[in-house]
Amino acid sequence: MSTTHDQNSMNENPINQSDEVMLPRPVRDSQSEMSEIVLPNDANPLGALLGGRLMHWIDLAGAMAAHRHARNYVVTAAIDHMDFWVPVHVGDLVILRSSVNRVFRTSMEVGVKVWVENYIADDCHHVGSAYLTFVAIDAAGRHVQVPAVIPETDDQRRRYDDAGRRREIRRTERERRKANLR
């Protein structure tokens, strides 16, 4: 066994970038769901979920969808605006659903929708939604191409189109911030 071969294989992508891996994938292949019970350590002194903890869970849920789609390492590049519409309390069940909305060569927009379920009162409410941008990278940190995503439902096609508009807004805002730094 060659040591050079072993070292080289450790530096390659975790997944071979074959033609099959680069075939477009339907949104449903990236759909992910995670659940968390809010514990006292997740809350402020009033028993409400900390916003930072929820944002951490949103990042994890988004990463799951991005990993499933890219079949590669991904890193968070950006998160769009986040509103918290209803409070979440200790003992509540938080449900996070995510999927890839659109792919842009090496990056992808992932939507995450957050729900709170009070299983004792048997009710469920929408807490908020977020759009995150993830970039696929190899083990050396270089950007790698991501397969296209195929929206199959009307809702997925709407999110696909909306993602293109949000990308343009992000680009315009990034250029504005760069100009202000000069």
pLDDT given at position 7: 42
According to DSSP, the β-strands at 25-26 and 149-150 are: parallel
The 10s digit of each residue's pLDDT in 115-130 is: 999 888 889 999 999 9
Classify residue 119 as left (phi > 0), alpha (psi -120 to 50) or beta.
alpha
Any idea what the Cα angle at residue 131 is, between residues 130 and 136, rounded to 5°?
135
Report yes or no on whether pTM surpasses 0.75: yes
Give 34-75 pLDDT, tens digit per residue: 999 999 999 999 999 999 999 999 999 999 999 999 999 999
Of the ranges 110-114, 117-121, 138-142, which one carries the lowest mean pLDDT score?
Answer: 117-121
- pLDDT (tens digit, 9 = 90+) per residue, 1-43? 444 444 444 444 444 455 566 899 999 999 999 999 999 999 9
